[in-house]
Amino acid sequence: MVAVRMSRRGRRYSKQILRVNSKQELQTIASNVQTDMDKKNLSYDEALGLGNLIQSRSDQLPGDAIIYGLSDRDTYRKSLELYLRDSLLTQAEQMLLWEERRRLGITDTEHENLLNLLLNQWKGQGKKVTIDRFDTPGGAESA
């Protein structure tokens, strides 16, 4: 990924992100970053970089809330939710998700954590999801 020169506004957001102590505060910042991007106060690349920083900081905080905002992980979450919509995750869908993980730089651990969070949400809604067995192209087994 190419480094993006941060504007003063971006640097201010970056400092806020590193200081927050809750995922709720991170969600507020993510919403503000999205608003500033929509108003053209931040470039897309800068907002994406801040979103990825928000996701990284979220991993360091307790709780299992999902942060919604512009980031590579959120892009992947949207794809994962789309494939889970029919309550079946086929081998073909898992192959497409594996390719997207590689493209976005999502680790297997991040994938597993996100999948478990989404499955727990679905179970809380009384839905059941079936996941076909899938062997990643590297030979290691996956969900």
Q: What is the pLDDT of residues 24-38, one digit of tens each?
A: 999 999 999 999 999
Task: Using pLDDT thresholds of 50, 70 and 90, give the confidence band for residue 4.
Answer: low
Contact 33, 69 (CB under 8 A): yes
pLDDT at 65 over 80: yes
Cα 97 to Cα 76: distance, rounded to the nearest angstrom: 8
Find all residues with CB under 8 Å of 113, minimum gap 6, and list them.
none
As given in the structure block, the two tokens for residue 15 are 């400092």
Cα 17 to Cα 130: distance, rounded to the nearest angstrom: 37
Is the pTM higher than 0.85? Answer: no
Task: Using pLDDT thresholds of 50, 70 and 90, give the confidence band for residue 143.
Answer: very low
Return the bridge partners of 135, or none. 141
46-49 long-range CB contacts below 8 Å, 24 or more apart? 46/4, 46/6, 46/7, 46/10, 48/72, 49/4, 49/6, 49/10
Cα 23 to Cα 90: distance, rounded to the nearest angstrom: 32
pLDDT at 43 over 70: yes
